[in-house]
Homo-oligomer: A and B are copies of this chain.
Amino acid sequence: MSKLEGIFTPLLVPLDQRGQINEAELRRFVNWLIERGVHGLYPNGSTGEFTRFTAEERRRIVRIVADETSGRVPILAGAAEANVDETLAACRAYAEMGVRAVAIVAPFYYKLTPESVYAYFAEIARHSPIDLTLYNIPMFASPIDVPTIRRLAEEFPRVIGIKDSSGDLAFMMRMIAQIRPIRPDFTFLTGWEAVLIPMLMIGCDGGTHASSNVVPEITRKMYDLYRAGGTAAAMQWQYRILELFDVMLYPFEFPDGFRAAAELRGFHFGRTRLPQTVSQRTEHLALNKVLQCILADFDLVQPPDNGCSVRPTDLGPEKLEQIVFKVMSEIKGRGLL
């Protein structure tokens, strides 16, 4: 089978007003993304809020996506479950649905040593009926280090790649330096679109970017520009994506900013599964306007009726308040205030 390459969208999941999966909208969203050129789809990732769904819902999501995609693009399905046995059962189910490969995040909640991370993936790789990619996201889960990745790549042909969301270029280079010589087929995907073009330059094969739920035509264009030698033009888009990414990422709980921006593209994402306070809802309204202005600059949506005089970097009090909520957890966690 061919190597995974290009932009894979870690699918947001449209919900209805009761917070249940909105199947019709999910199907419509899948088609829209494929039409705008994403190279693959990646349900049950962090952007897809996999931890907030039940095991049954996670399977239903992959089933819908696989059915609607009908082989037009490859699917990388997140298959992490409560333990190895459950994860293997999901691997078998997804294999039957025709997905190209599964992606498995390192164990989370408990922080594991590299030896245990190795043991975990080795046990899965030994019994999986389907190719698997490792998923390294050290801000949320146990880190997967270079020696462990190398060890798994050497021993298990079933392990065909890694998605890394650290955004650390030197780390990516260390992985590529160690593994590409022994496994030229191994895929390296970045999950940090803030540095997509630099990552391609150092040798990455592509990325799984939450932003591609919102601006799939642009993430695809960046990829194509770079591959065609248009580094300078690609970098101009990189700077613009960074601005959008920062506004979707930092003042919101993840992935609510991406859901809000994708709504502006014409989809109904419904009630988020994370309860919100009234004050949060008010703040989101202000932020939505900022998102609309950025997307309007991209010529992808209409600007708001009352214009776009305020720009994100000048947000001042509004953005301040948002960010304060986020950072106060630090100090408050220590019991102050």
Contacts and interface: CB of A to CB of B under 8 A. Distances in A.
Contact of A141 (B109, B168, B197, B334): B109
A98 interface: no
Interface string A47-79: 000011111000000000000000000000000
A108 interface: yes
Interface stretch (A113-121, A207-215, A260-268, A290-298): A113-121
**Most B Cβ at <10 Å: residue of A116, A170, A231:** A170
A198 interface: yes
Interface residues on A, range: 35 or more
Interface string A227-238: 000010001001
Nearest to A166: B333
Contacts of A335: 145-146, 168, 170-171, 174-175
A125 to B, nearest CB: 11
A70 B52 CA distance: 33
A61 to B, nearest CB: 13
Given A109-B108, A198-B198, A274 B337 contact: no
19 contacts: A46-B109, A53-B83, A54-B55, A109-B141, A110-B140, A115-B280, A119-B275, A120-B274, A145-B334, A167-B169, A170-B194, A173-B242, A174-B242, A177-B243, A198-B201, A201-B235, A323-B328, A324-B328, A326-B331
A185 interface: no
A239 interface: yes
A178 interface: yes
A227 to B, nearest CB: 14
Given A170-B167, A335-B174, A273 B327 contact: no
